[in-house]
Amino acid sequence: MTGDEREALQQPISNAARTLYLLGLRPDHDPSSGYSAPIHYKTLLTLVNDAHFQVKLGRDINELLGELITAGLVALNESQSLEQSLNGQQVMLPLAQSPKDAFQQTHGNWHAMHREWQPEDSVFEDLATLVGLIDKAYSEHELGEFIAYWLGRPQMQFSPFQWTQKFVFQLRQKRLAYGAPRQQVGLQTVTTQAGIEVDDNARQLMEKYRKKEN
């Protein structure tokens, strides 16, 4: 169980709702997707009923799911509603995913490029480090250039990880190219920061005149 789950379960929800989550939804959920196993009202009714709490209908389970949704422990997709039967359906457990699982999700959800695309921050940082990208800062122009190129290829669909990977590779290729104002660092070129650089000739002249003054 994650720390976020523990914190959410301490909110003012009923013990029946906690039982539903801990014994009915959490044990058989899919860690890679975050979805629960298909809901079976009959099984869940047996789990939550005790000497002090008795429910008999699927809508009673939906009321408990409503508590879990308010606490942030459960989420429904756009086609689902607590006003309708959820029997046989899966629900999302957003807090049950560890950071590693969240990273793995970047390999799913394939999509074409769109105007508002942004690289996945954690993936960008990791990949940039792995390929030895020294200058990790990029401009709006560089991002726009990447988006514009792939907007012209709407048939191409990739996962968030792959889109970010392509962007990192494009930046690395540009850093290996020649151009000004840039400076060489190893085999790569990086953006020259604003400032004053004094070359060897200038230093010699300064030393020459300093000696004369003395």
Whichever domain contains 152, its CATH number is: 1.10.8.1180
7-57 residue pLDDT tens: 889 998 999 899 999 999 999 898 877 889 999 999 998 888 876 677 778
| Per-residue pLDDT at 180 | 40
The model's confidence at residue 137, banded by pLDDT at 50, 70 and 90, is confident
Of 33, 63, 97, at which residue does a domain stop?
A: 97
- Is 213 inside a domain boundary? no
Tally of domains in the chain: 2
| Per-residue pLDDT at 100 | 55
Same domain, 107 and 93: no
Cβ atoms of 31 and 97 closer than 8 Å: yes
- Is 202 inside a domain boundary? no
Same domain, 93 and 17: yes
Three-state DSSP at 42 gives helix
Other CB atoms within a 10 A radius of the CB of residue 67 amount to 19
How far, in Å, CA of 77 to CA of 92, rounded?
A: 8
Q: How far apart are the first and last CA of the chain?
A: 74
Structure tokens at 40: 């079976």
Say what the pTM is: 0.47
Same domain, 91 and 19: yes
Q: Is the pLDDT of residue 163 over 90?
A: yes
**pLDDT-wise least confident of 31-45, 76-90, 93-107, 158-172:** 93-107
| Per-residue pLDDT at 195 | 42
Same domain, 129 and 149: yes
Same domain, 150 and 165: yes
